[in-house]
Structure 1
Amino acid sequence: MTETVAAGFERGVATLALDSPGGRNALSARLVDELARELDRCGRDDSVRAVVLTHTGPVFSAGADLKAPPNPYTFVALLRKILELPKPVVARVTGPARAGGLGLLGACDLAAASSAADFAFTEVRIGVAPAVISLPLLPRLEPRAAGRYYLTGETFDAAEAARIGLLTLAADDVDTALAPIVAGLRKASPRGLAAAKRLVTARVLDAFDRDAEDLVRCSASLFASAEAREGISAFLERREPAWEL
């Protein structure tokens, strides 16, 4: 069986690449499970100083796999695992990211994208809302921008993503931009990194403790609705949903 996450390692930095390009790296139950296992392995490996989360193919992630979606509790657990991993996780994005894929970016400690990347919260266009991914994202995003992009589903570029807090930085050459960041992580002590990460993720994890159960229930209710059934059918059939004016 083909793996959906490709792993590599160089000088203390593990690279985990979403590796289902034929499915636009959609977040299937299988991909979520495999990514969680790889993160666990990195957490146990003392030779790993940091993790770079990236992708194969032109798309970072199309969001949830609507044909084989992960259990929402499993997806929440994955986001929390990224936040609680005692090693920094750095997202490297060189293509489109949508919906649940933005949740992964929100959970990462640092996120960088090239000018080829763009982003959208597309949930409202299929009859649901960005509920679960709000856990790591709303503590990080500029509030007015979150309101705009959550409500409209508009696509925005990497520069705008950096301005509103979705990304740490945007650059034409993402690898050149990330080089000093990765070099800095290699110079940091493992214990110091773990302690510093706990400081900067504490407020995000508070949101998980407070809101995760309510948002999972909200998501489940929305996906079970008639509007979601119509929206998902329209998306899969490549047609406009019944409500579009």
Structure 2
Amino acid sequence: MSTEKTLVRSSHECGITTLTLDSPANRNALSAALVADLSDALTACGKDDAVRAVVLTHTGNTFSAGADLKSPPPPEALVALLRQIVALDRPVVARIAGHVRAGGLGLLGACDISAASDAASFAFTEVRIGVAPAVISLPLLPRTDPRAVARYYLTGERFDAAEAVRIGLLTTAGDDVDAALAPVLDGLRRSSPQGLTETKRLLTAKVLEAFDRDAADLSALSARLFSSAQASEGMTAFLERRDPAWVL
């Protein structure tokens, strides 16, 4: 991997590589640079036979605040990153010790297993700035409760870790996220590399079908919405910490 400073730190211990989102200045928002660095780190994991599984975590009190509105990645780049997580032939485990918003929830949907602390909170905030959770729906919709997702997609409401477990966004939650993850990581270390690879393929086949079928259309939708007048108003209002013009 490159020796230059990146926005994703990597460490390895006993078969598990931990990738840490490390962009605290923007609450680990999905900038073009962070998306590229995370993709590079995942590629390196896929080439390393010592990697049994990958843990994706974060610095600070926010796993990811969603798309970086000042330097967003192209929709196609985010689609490629999400598909890379789903298609990686090692399990990817999300470790959440903070809050997750909008596009950051796409990362959770792409991971195979996800755990959070009870203090974490979640929200699909896209609708409140005039866009839609388009490309992140590729991994999320096949894996989450449709009635619950309809509510949270349409309202942008905040919900807690217990609700995230109930609707299928999280696998588990607890007061101590590392204690909640301990049996998961122990199980992965006890599993054969071949067994993990082939089992993950079984689990992700339907999700990858959604990518192959819908990625182009949803990328186009995302690009169209982000270039719209309502999105411009919504993003400006967000940055200016005021309500957008449509709020009643």
TM superposition score normalised by structure 2 = 0.98
2:208 corresponds, among 194, 201, 205, to 205
Amino acid at match of 2:227: A
Q: CA deviation at 1:2?
A: 3.6
In structure 2, the partner of 1:60 is: 63
For residue 195 of structure 1, give the secondary structure of its aligned residue in structure 2: helix
2:232 is the alignment partner of 1:229: yes
2:176 is the alignment partner of 1:176: no
Amino acid at match of 2:238: F
Deviations 1:95-136 (A, max 9, x none): 110000000000000000001110000000000000000000
2:36 is the alignment partner of 1:33: yes
1:48 corresponds, among 48, 51, 54, to 51
For residue 17 of structure 1, give the secondary structure of its aligned residue in structure 2: strand
2:82 is the alignment partner of 1:79: yes
Instruction: Give the alignment's Cα RMSD to 1 decimal.
Output: 0.7
In structure 2, the partner of 1:96 is: 99
Percent of counterpart pairs with the same letter? 69
Deviations 1:4-56 (A, max 9, x none): 10111100000001000121000000000000000000000000000000001
Amino acid at match of 1:126: I
1:216 corresponds, among 195, 214, 219, to 219
Q: Work out the number of aligned pairs and report it.
A: 245
Equivalent positions of 1:15-34 (< 5 A) are: 15-34=18-37
> Matches of 1:75 and 1:193 in 2, distance apart?
25
2:108 is the alignment partner of 1:105: yes
> Matches of 1:115 and 1:192 in 2, distance apart?
31
Deviations 1:177-226 (A, max 9, x none): 11010000001111110000000011111110111111001111111110
Deviations 1:139-188 (A, max 9, x none): 01101001000000000000000000000111111101110100000011
Equivalent positions of 1:177-192 (< 5 A) are: 177-192=180-195
In structure 2, the partner of 1:146 is: 149
Amino acid at match of 1:171: G
In structure 2, the partner of 1:8 is: 11
Equivalent positions of 1:107-122 (< 5 A) are: 107-122=110-125
Structure 2: gaps spanning 5 or more residues = none
> Matches of 1:170 and 1:60 in 2, distance apart?
15
Runs of 4+ in 1 over 6 A off after TM superposition: none
> Matches of 1:34 and 1:191 in 2, distance apart?
27
> Matches of 2:183 and 2:241 in 1, distance apart?
43
> Matches of 1:99 and 1:31 in 2, distance apart?
16
TM superposition score normalised by structure 1 = 0.99
2:130 is the alignment partner of 1:137: no
1:196 corresponds, among 191, 199, 202, to 199
Structure 1: gaps spanning 5 or more residues = none
Q: CA deviation at 1:228?
A: 0.2
In structure 2, the partner of 1:123 is: 126
For residue 60 of structure 1, give the secondary structure of its aligned residue in structure 2: strand
Amino acid at match of 2:55: V
